[in-house]
Every structure is written in structure tokens, then in C-alpha cells.
Amino acid sequence: QVASMSEPLHDMFVRFWALNYRDNLSRFVYARLGKLGLMEVLRLLKTYDINKLIASMDRNGIDHSVIHSIEPMSSTRAILSLTEPYRERISVFCSVDRACEDPVGYLRPMIESGTVSGIKFHPIVGRFQCGEILFAMSEVVDLAQEFDLPVMIHTGHIPTGNLKAVGGCNEVQALEPLVRKYPRVRFVLAHIGWESWRQVLALAERYENTLVETSWQPARIIRRAVDRLGSQRVLFGSDFPLYKQSQALRHCQDALTHREFVDVASVNARRLLRLPELAKCSD
């Protein structure tokens, strides 16, 4: 209850530090606070259920959102069950973790049913090591290519220093062999790499099958992304409930012209998700 009452204060605190302090020392401090951060993440995920997501979308004029599962922390099947009444407004990306013995067998039925719209790959939470990403994910990306689904990849550091159960690759360079092998697959690089935005934008410049997603980035980095890649390859995202949709929208609005904002917040996601109508879309 105390955490819920003080949420606006620590939300402002986290947002300020996350947007402005990403150097090695700052990330070292964040990593030492890993357990505290995980507790807050779990609290937010428990507090903000599907109804609160819909309410936030309505307040912010967002017609359609994407929810990602992050196995093993969150189950794709559980998310599909929760979102079933809202299929017209919510798309789901499925995922697997390293411990899954038959990732294709797990994902294929959900993909064939048409209930998922893409695949989420989180190297850190999924516990994938840098040297094994190409081998470990090739079968899954083969599946994405077969069904013409986008693959969203987490990029950037997260504070896992004290979390023994979570610890995979966070090196942007380790993703390049996978992106290079599948030129027909559309890869979305989440968070524009957070502190690794330079490496992510450099990677995206080399491969036209990549897009970048804006959550956890200030207006100045979103502006750089559009300047270097064009507004057609940048996607609005919020990472709700960890980051407020209203704040994420404001960063994009501050960074972009109206025409660019329409591309980033609507047109690009509609095309990526094959939505039938023009809609403002949120990650």
C-alpha cells in the first residue's frame, strides 16, 4: 500500500535517472539494486492488470497495444487467456526461454491459430549467452520467417547484478549474425538499446530489415533515430506498466514533427502488425 501511494514519486525518480544516467557507474549502482528493482517490477505487473491497460490506452488516445510474454517470467498462454476479450485492441507476441526443449513445438500451435502477432526474444531474461544466440534462435526465427511475423529483441542493460536466475547476453553486437542471416525477417530492436543506443542505431543502419522501438528513450535520442533511419523505421513503445504511456507519448511528440509522429505512433505499427485500420499503436 505504501508503494502504491508513493508510486508517482518513485516513478518520477526512476524516469529521471533512467533517462539521464546510463554510464558504467550508474549501471553498476542499478545492478546492486537489482532485487529492489525486481520487486517493483513484479508489483507493477500485479497492480496494472488488463483493465488498467485499457483505461490507460483510452486516456491517451491509443487504439491498439502489443503485449509481449517474456518466458519464463510470463507465460504466453496466460497472456493469451487474459487478452482474449480484447483481441481487437491488443496483439500478443509469444516467446521462449533457453530452457525450452522444443521451442518450435511450443510456439507453432499458437502461431498457426493466428492468436499471436509476433515473437519476443529477451536474451537477458531468457538466459541466452552471447555466443549461442544464432544457433539457439535460428529455429524460432525460421518460424517467424515462415509465417511472416516480426521478431522483437530486447536491447540494452537491465539491472541484474544480484539476480542469479537472470543473466543472459546484453551485447548488441551479438545480435548481428542473427539479423544478417534473415534479411526477410523484420527485427524490432526494443528500447533503441537504452544506454547502447549508438550501437543499436549503427546496427540498424547496416540492415534495412530492422526497426527500433522508442520506450525508455528521451526525445533527443528518438530524434536521432528518426534522423538516421527515417520515420518509417521507428516504432512508438511505452513498456507499460514499467513506464507510463503518457510520458512515452510526450517524448515522441517533443521529438517529432506531426507527420513523423503519425508514422512512429501509428502507420509503422499498423503495417508491421497488419492491422486493418489506421490506429495509434503502443508497445
Q: Is residue 247 part of a domain?
A: yes
Q: Is residue 81 part of a domain?
A: yes
pLDDT given at position 25: 78
Q: What is the pLDDT of residues 217-267, one digit of tens each?
A: 999 999 999 999 999 999 999 999 989 999 999 999 999 999 999 999 999
Q: pTM of the predicted model, to two decimals?
A: 0.90
- In CATH, what number is assigned to the domain containing residue 98? 3.20.20.140
Work out the percent of the chain whose per-residue pLDDT is above 70.
87
Q: Is residue 225 part of a domain?
A: yes
Say if CB 86 and CB 50 are below 8 A apart: yes
pLDDT given at position 279: 44
Which of 57-66, 97-106, 109-118 has the weakest average pLDDT?
Answer: 97-106
Mean pLDDT of the chain, nearest integer: 89
Q: Is residue 57 part of a domain?
A: yes
pLDDT given at position 3: 55
Mean pLDDT of 156-168: 66
Q: Is residue 282 part of a domain?
A: no
Q: Is residue 227 part of a domain?
A: yes
Say if CB 174 and CB 198 are below 8 A apart: no
Q: How far apart are CA 47 and CA 27, in angstroms?
A: 26
Which of 27-41, 112-126, 269-283 has the weakest average pLDDT?
Answer: 27-41
Q: Is residue 40 part of a domain?
A: yes
Cell numbers given for 155: 536491447
Q: How far apart are CA 212 and CA 215, in angstroms?
A: 10
Widest distance between CA atoms in the chain? 49
Q: Is residue 283 part of a domain?
A: no
Q: What is the pLDDT of residues 56-93, one digit of tens each?
A: 999 999 999 999 999 988 899 999 999 999 999 999 99
Q: How far apart are CA 223 and CA 218, in angstroms?
A: 9
Work out the percent of the chain whose per-residue pLDDT is above 90.
71
For 106, the domain range is 2-277
Say if CB 176 and CB 142 are below 8 A apart: no
* Residue type for position 87: R
**Total count of domains within the chain:** 1
